[in-house]
Structure 1
Amino acid sequence: MARQLSFDLPAKTALGREDFFVSPANALAVAMISATTWPGGKLALSGPAGSGKTHLAHVWAGETGARIIPAHKVTEAAIPDLASAPVAVEDVPAIAGDAAREALLFHLHNLALAQGQPLLLTGRGAPSTWGIALPDLASRIAAAHHVGLEAPDDALLCAVLAKLFTDRQLNPKPDVIPYLARHMMRSFEEAARIVGQLDMIALAEKREINRALAVTLLNRDRTDD
């Protein structure tokens, strides 16, 4: 029987506050994002891939009117406009070792705070591991209040899986998510990978996403290891 062609279409990610599931693993980060002020006017938010850093940045932007920009896209021309309002700079470690881009972020940091605008910085791992080479920028990031998103607990992992399925407009059988949460490797990246794989397999083989399909995928992964 011929396989149905499948296309890896991007999921439409829901980024509203109502779409963010609060659990003990992220409650402190959510509380800090919701705070009206931060010590020194800035906050460093860290966490593994898929943990919700971008989601929380969008929640904060929705509440404050902040602009969101990846660190590698900050330009000299854009700095005055960015610094005139609350600003979130994502994935700061991506510019580590790039002297020109580190200097631009340093300028943005100083101008935003000088104008009384709050600054949110995000990246994987604690800020001390971001690898920033410019001493003045590294010291200012180190001085930021830091809050981390922790590895998912049971409730959060189930919520993340449910959201990933919803973002792809998928409707798995009720026992799929509890099964995955019990047997998968506990990480946000793995959750995204598994949901993507289940989507592709179900489409290619014209199967529903049920526990049997989840078992097949996880068993295949163990065999491939």
Structure 2
Amino acid sequence: MSAPGPQLPLPLAHRAAQGREDFLVSDSNAVAVTWIDRWPDWPQPVAVLVGPAGSGKSHLADVWRSKARALPCEAQALRKEDVPELLATKALVVENLHQLRDPEALFHLLNFARETGAFLLLTSAESPAALHFPLPDLMSRLNAAPTVQLHAPDEMLLLQLIAKHFADRGVHATPTMLEYISNRIDRSAHAARDVVQRIDMHALSHGKRLNMSVIRDVLNAPADAG
């Protein structure tokens, strides 16, 4: 009789901690965090968070959204006729400005926000000046808005992110484990989250506790394995 193979882990619900107290601060994001923390004491009612994928823009935007009771909106879905409803709470997060499809809708949003005293937080992978929207007045407004840069996680932040994702899953990783992992993945929040998920799922499916052998199995596996 053959030995049973690895078991598939049950798809248990997993909720990452996403509050302000869970947002890890380092030199790569400290300025942006300070800017969010000082709201509503902003010099202008519009701010732009700019950073590469995995830099923490969405997490920080969620922190502000909770604090300001703002509604969420994807830039590519923004429509002029939806603007009054989107600003019902006098605060709005517009994610992924670089994917905007309707510049006139954004210009209307900025005007309506100014008229009603609403706050806007925009996120983008590119600076407003690099977006080159065809409306000069819109570009002027965006370029005048304070732009806060987030950078890819530095070494210390990457270690903290990996440790946090393990802790969110109720798993303790030693400093040796954390350093081993961080030296072998891309420097992004997405990579940290993804590798922890893969390691944890591998450990669960084989009925093992987290150890260096489990970590090596995952990190040394072919890219198309599984």
Q: Which residue of 2 aligns with 1:177?
A: 178
TM-score of the aligned structures, taking structure 1 as reference length: 0.83
Q: Which residue of 2 aligns with 1:66?
A: 70
Q: Which residue of 2 aligns with 1:91?
A: 96
In structure 2, the CA distance between the partners of 1:27 and 1:188, relative to structure 1 (3 Å rule), is same
Q: Which residue of 1 aligns with 2:36?
A: 33
Contact 2:93–2:122 (CA under 8 A) maintained in structure 1: yes
Pick one of 12, 23, 29 that aligns with 1:20. Answer: 23
Distance 1:134 1:172 in 2: 52
Alignment of 1:203-214 (within 5 A): 203-214=204-215
Determine helix, strand or coil for the equivalent of 2:48.
strand
Distance 1:38 1:153 in 2: 27
Sequence identity of aligned pairs in percent?
37
TM-score of the aligned structures, taking structure 2 as reference length: 0.83
Distance 1:220 1:139 in 2: 50
Tell me if 1:157 matches 2:161.
no
Pick one of 84, 90, 99 that aligns with 1:80. Answer: 84
1:122, distance to aligned residue in structure 2 (A): 0.2
**Cα deviations across residues 138-184 of structure 1 (Å, max 9, x unaligned)?**
332222111111121222112211222234x2404323223212343
Q: Which residue of 2 aligns with 1:118?
A: 119
Unaligned runs of at least 5 residues, structure 2: none
1:23, distance to aligned residue in structure 2 (A): 1.3
Unaligned runs of at least 5 residues, structure 1: none
Contact 1:57–1:68 (CA under 8 A) maintained in structure 2: no
1:20, distance to aligned residue in structure 2 (A): 0.8
Contact 1:50–1:189 (CA under 8 A) maintained in structure 2: yes
1:67, distance to aligned residue in structure 2 (A): 2.0
- Matched pairs, number: 219
In structure 2, the CA distance between the partners of 1:151 and 1:112, relative to structure 1 (3 Å rule), is same
Contact 1:102–1:137 (CA under 8 A) maintained in structure 2: yes
Largest Rg, 1 or 2: 2
Determine helix, strand or coil for the equivalent of 1:207.
coil
Letter aligned with residue 71 of structure 1: A
**What is the CA RMSD across the aligned residues, in angstroms?**
2.6
Contact 2:91–2:118 (CA under 8 A) maintained in structure 1: yes
